[in-house]
Chains A and B, each alone.
Chain A
Amino acid sequence: MTRFFLRRLLLTVPVLLGVATLVFSLIHLVPGDPVQAMLGDSATPQDIADLRGRLGLDRPLYVQYAAFLKGVGTGNLGTSLRTNQPVTAAIAERLPATFELAFAAMFVATAIAIPLGIIAAVGAGTRVDYAATTAALLGISIPNFWLGPLMAIVFSVTLGWLPVSGRGTLAHLVLPAMTLGAPLAAVLARMTRASVIEELRELYVLAARARGVSPARAVLHHAFRNSLIPIVTVLGLQFGAVLTGAVITETIFAWPGVGRLLIQSISFRDYPLVQGCILLIAVTYVGMNLMTDLAYGFLDPRIRFD
């Protein structure tokens, strides 16, 4: 068990190093002079030289790389070009909003998907199943950058029930959470359906029914409980999709999170902040995948021998 955990942890190190390297190289992919791109055409040669020195871009590449890695390790990712605020502080300010939205979306997704998936599995092959499967496929196909405005038209503009943008009350959270949670709900419902169908075929469910256990109890207490492992895994692995979706959802609903900060920094060519946001989201994603893997290994002993 410990060996599995250590091995999995060690495997994450090169991936994190690769992520940091890729994020570091982003600024060097800017066509032409990145400093000129950040400051615009009106910048004087002195301004350009000053910023180049401030960003350390006048140093040899390997020195820049070492300084970047050291900064990542110590939490010093430089300062925002627009606000002069440390990048880590700017991100930390926005992080609670993003996590609030992400967890609310996952809650919405779970609340919709689990009952839908179980109903579809129990009635597999029937019209109920087809309706649920089609609804799930529809959820995957409708992009959140359309679903969000569409829900805003219905619930904010037409009905006037919910605010269309901003953060503060629970009402502000409803539309962004539903927009972000819908595609996840669709993926989760499909997974729940497949997983419960698989379990319903097992002999222990048949044995439970033969013992006189009611159909509902056989499904919920036996089949569903055992199908939870893959469902929880998918939920964990989908956290990355939620984080990417948050970039779009936060932009639609003016939600003051890291995703919106990323898009704003892109429009201002504030590359240190862009790098910080990308790094944070990628590292959170890697961390979440690691935790999911470890939890899976803990819950299912067969995994450790793979």
Chain B
Amino acid sequence: MSAPEPAASAGPGAPETAASPAETAEPSASPAETEQPAADEERAPSPPRRPLRQLAVAAAPVIGVVLLFGLWEFYVRAAGVHVLTLPPPSRVLRHLVAEPGFYWEHSLVTIREATLGFWLGFSAAMVVATFMAHSRFMERATLPTIVLLQSTPVAVLAPVFLIWFGFNIWPKALTAAVFCYVPFVVNAFTGLRAIDENAYELMRSVSSSRWEIFRKLRLPHSLPYLFSSARLCLGLALVGAVIGEMFAGSTGGLGNTARVAQTRLLVDQLWGSIFTLALIGVIANLVLVAVEARMLRWHSSQTTRS
């Protein structure tokens, strides 16, 4: 498979290999009752806690962002950069606070398009990946189409979708969907196919149906893969929606406000649109991370072993 697999590294780490070193350290004669979980042994020799250091680590992401904006602000003011080239972030933020209704309204348009596109891309990918996971023929027949789509800069499809559907939400949503489809289908297929052979044989040993194997083995196994591609696709769905708004005719959405701002040299509106898009992306990611932490408590990527 030549498509990139962002989930490959985040795939379910084999639990037995992860835990086995602790096993050898067990006392030999003692019966099962006295045994400690592997996690305990790893935690025992950790260094004493230093509250200040912990606080710094916790605040690091915020510090990073503040530092970026601080440097930006400082550079623009100190070097006297023209506001049309690069406005200071404080000015953009003031503008945003002054016009919340405008950005809220256009955000909703873009979010609607991106969400629709995200789910369309996801649904199509799940259907295709399910067929691929169950049939060698489907797998071999579908892989080249995915590579083809992946090699195409799909943004050029936006005008096509405009011709097909006209001036409504669909060209934007479809552009977003096409952006999301490839990462979703590759990861969904990997997740549905790369199941534990022994678990599969175990299910076969009691004549589990295909549907049961799908629902109880393949689908849960694909969840970590789906979540890691979902992170990627949240961003891609926004990109797709914005490109759709810019190239597939629109009267609303943040891609549109940015395009209009560019033609009329409305520097505040241009940067206001950019900031709002960034904010949407960040919030969507935070929501996803929270959902993932809830749903993948069992997964080794969630290192909160409490």
Partners in one complex: no
User: A residues engaging B (CB < 8 A)?
Assistant: none
User: B residues engaging A (CB < 8 A)?
Assistant: none
